Structure 1
Amino acid sequence: MSDHAMMSTDERLAYMAEHILRNFATRGEDEAIEATAEHIGLYWDPSMKARATAMADEPGVPLSEAARAVFRRLGEEQPLT
């Protein structure tokens, strides 16, 4: 079984957010954060967005500071319905 299959839900959400951030990295960090939050807002399921938003300020969650910023931005700008 691959390591990816053994990820928790939180780890999987963090992994996906980090992957999206890397795809937008050439735009610079601020624009990558904005574009990633927009992408997640458009394409992730509401339950995924709600969990991501909750993860933003939880200690011990495996997120880079950029991914935390994405999840915080998502909570500020996106309705979680």
Structure 2
Amino acid sequence: MSGDSTANLVRMVNQIARNVTHEADPVATVADHVAAFWSGRMRAQIATWLDQHGGEGLDPVALAALQRLQQGADAG
């Protein structure tokens, strides 16, 4: 996938994070949303980007959610 589509995924996860700040556990809410509604291809693409770029450009809640998903994938 192109860099433009990856940038779009970064933008999307940041929007999700900003929209759930009122939740009791916004990190879990973002992680649950990504796990439930993003395709496997989208999740793989953002995981690869995260491995290559760290948290660059990510909202702290989005970063923590993606790291949580990666840790869960590594454990499974």
| TM bin (shorter chain) | 0.7 to 0.9
- Give the TM-score normalised by structure 1: 0.71
Of 49, 52, 72, which residue of structure 1 is paired with 2:67?
Answer: 72
Is 2:33 aligned against 1:39? yes
**Structure ranking higher in helix proportion:** 2
Structure 1 gap segments, 5+ residues each: 1-6
Structure 2 gap segments, 5+ residues each: none
> In angstroms, what is the RMSD of aligned CA positions?
2.3
Of 18, 22, 35, which residue of structure 2 is paired with 1:22?
Answer: 18
Is 2:9 aligned against 1:13? yes
Percentage of pairs with the same residue: 24
Q: Which has the higher contact order (CA 8 A, sep 6+)?
A: 2
